[in-house]
């Protein structure tokens, strides 16, 4: 399988339009930013799927040679998208894909029912919505994907929607030809046995790197919820598990713009690297 990491920032991107925290200020000074969390994945280098659809999706697709349309005038290698949540930073890009003519969006039932853009997009006619009922499917191009329920965190716009344990999922992609396994979880609230089972035999784990510490938002911006209140385990806690999976690449993504690991010379970045973990980069390619 081939994976293109299209974007690596949490909601707001880097820099965030209204933020002057240390990392956003450094990003403005160097001109080096990050687009919002999203992947493209393929089992055969011909049929591609998005995993999440960020508000930056147009720019991300244009920057990715594998996603260039053609040779037919309206032919695209993109077959669909899989969503890990209903959060706006993972779903607003769907509105930018409304010209699609044959495109399937996979997500859990609560996510599909909540999506505010769905009713807006439907009249354009080319997007099908498919509920991940049994949690396992084979994509065009041969990849097998399993969804792993991770939690009940609802987006703020759906705060009164019914409780369900699959508002947030991870995906485990297996390439039956190469045997490669990728696990992707940009929103991980709890280190559960179910999550540990998903990691079993993984070659690469792309996981929640939103915050380095639980109170980072308050420290960096003077306001805001804790990481745990937002359903994100901080890196300072999850990095301790890294040594239990020595055979896997361990890459943090969905990086909030307040996160000091984004500064190349920070102590937090060094701590991640010394633990044998990596920080994802926009445009990164993984072959598994």
Measuring CA to CA, which residue among 146, 144, 145, 166 is closest to residue 154?
166
Residue 38 or 248: the one with the smaller Cβ distance to ligand MLT is 38
Whether 111 and 187 have beta carbons less than 8 Å apart is answered as no
By CB under 5 A, is residue 257 in contact with Zn ion?
A: yes
88 binds, among Mn ion, ligand MLT, Zn ion, none (CB under 5 to 8 A by kind): ligand MLT
Q: Are strands 38-42 and 181-185 parallel, antiparallel or unpaired?
A: unpaired
| Residue 29 beta carbon to ligand MLT: minimum distance, rounded to whole angstroms | 25
No. of helices (H) and no. of strands (E), the chain: 9, 14
- Residues that bind ligand MLT in the complex, under the rule CB under 6 A: 10-11, 87-89, 156, 187, 230-231
| Residue 48 beta carbon to ligand MLT: minimum distance, rounded to whole angstroms | 24
Residue 73 or 156: the one with the smaller Cβ distance to ligand MLT is 156
By CB under 5 A, is residue 255 in contact with Zn ion?
A: no
Helix, strand, coil fractions of the chain, as percent rounded to 5: 30, 25, 45
Whether 107 and 86 have beta carbons less than 8 Å apart is answered as yes
Tokens of 106: 């996979």
Residue 89 or 282: the one with the smaller Cβ distance to Mn ion is 89
Task: Give the H or E element holding residue 273.
Answer: helix 267-274
* Residues between 19 and 78 with contacts to Zn ion, criterion CB under 5 A: 19, 21, 24
| Residue 38 beta carbon to Zn ion: minimum distance, rounded to whole angstroms | 19
Stretch that binds Zn ion, among 16-24, 73-81, 94-102, 196-204 (CB under 5 A): 16-24
Residue 4 or 254: the one with the smaller Cβ distance to Mn ion is 254
Question: Three-state DSSP class for 111?
Answer: helix
- Residues that bind Mn ion in the complex, under the rule CB under 5 A: 10-11, 87, 89
What's the distance, CA 221 to chain centroid? 24
Left if phi > 0, otherwise alpha if psi is -120 to 50, otherwise beta: which for 125?
left
Measuring CA to CA, which residue among 189, 280, 205 is closest to residue 243?
205
| Residue 153 beta carbon to ligand MLT: minimum distance, rounded to whole angstroms | 7
Residue 10 or 100: the one with the smaller Cβ distance to Mn ion is 10
The span from the CA of 229 to the CA of 224, in Å, is 10
Stretch that binds Zn ion, among 37-45, 84-92, 251-259, 273-281 (CB under 5 A): 251-259
The span from the CA of 186 to the CA of 252, in Å, is 8
Residue 2 or 254: the one with the smaller Cβ distance to Mn ion is 254
| Residue 16 beta carbon to Zn ion: minimum distance, rounded to whole angstroms | 5
Residue 203 or 208: the one with the smaller Cβ distance to ligand MLT is 208
Whether 228 and 189 have beta carbons less than 8 Å apart is answered as yes
Q: Which residue in the shown chain puts its C-beta closest to ligand MLT?
A: 11
Contact set with Zn ion (CB under 5 A): 16, 19, 21, 24, 257
């Amino acid at each position: 399988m081939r994976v293109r990491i299209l974007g690596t920032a949490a909601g707001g991107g880097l820099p965030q339009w209204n933020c002057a925290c240390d990392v956003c200020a450094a990003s403005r000074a160097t001109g080096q930013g990050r687009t919002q969390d999203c992947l493209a994945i393929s089992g055969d280098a011909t049929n591609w799927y998005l995993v999440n659809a960020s508000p930056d999706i147009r720019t991300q697709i244009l920057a990715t040679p594998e996603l260039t349309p053609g040779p037919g005038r309206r032919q695209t290698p993109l077959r669909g998208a899989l969503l890990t949540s209903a959060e706006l930073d993972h779903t607003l890009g769907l509105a930018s894909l409304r010209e699609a003519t044959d495109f399937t969006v996979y997500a859990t039932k609560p996510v599909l029912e909540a999506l505010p853009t769905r009713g807006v997009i439907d009249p354009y006619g080319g997007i099908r919505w498919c509920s991940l009922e049994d949690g396992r499917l084979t994509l065009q191009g041969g990849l097998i994907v399993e969804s792993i329920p991770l939690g009940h965190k609802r987006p703020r716009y759906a705060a009164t929607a019914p409780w369900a344990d699959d508002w947030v999922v991870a995906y485990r992609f297996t390439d039956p030809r190469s045997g490669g396994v990728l696990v992707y979880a940009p929103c991980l609230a709890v280190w559960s046995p179910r999550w540990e089972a998903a990691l079993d035999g993984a070659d690469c784990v792309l996981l929640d790197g939103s915050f380095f510490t639980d109170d980072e938002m308050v420290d960096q911006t003077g306001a805001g919820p804790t990481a745990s209140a937002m359903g994100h385990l901080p890196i300072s806690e999850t990095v301790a598990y890294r040594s239990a999976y020595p055979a896997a690449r361990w890459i943090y993504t969905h990086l909030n713009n307040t996160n000091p690991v984004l500064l190349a010379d920070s102590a937090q970045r060094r701590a991640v690297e010394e633990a044998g973990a990596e920080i994802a980069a926009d445009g990164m390619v993984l072959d598994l």
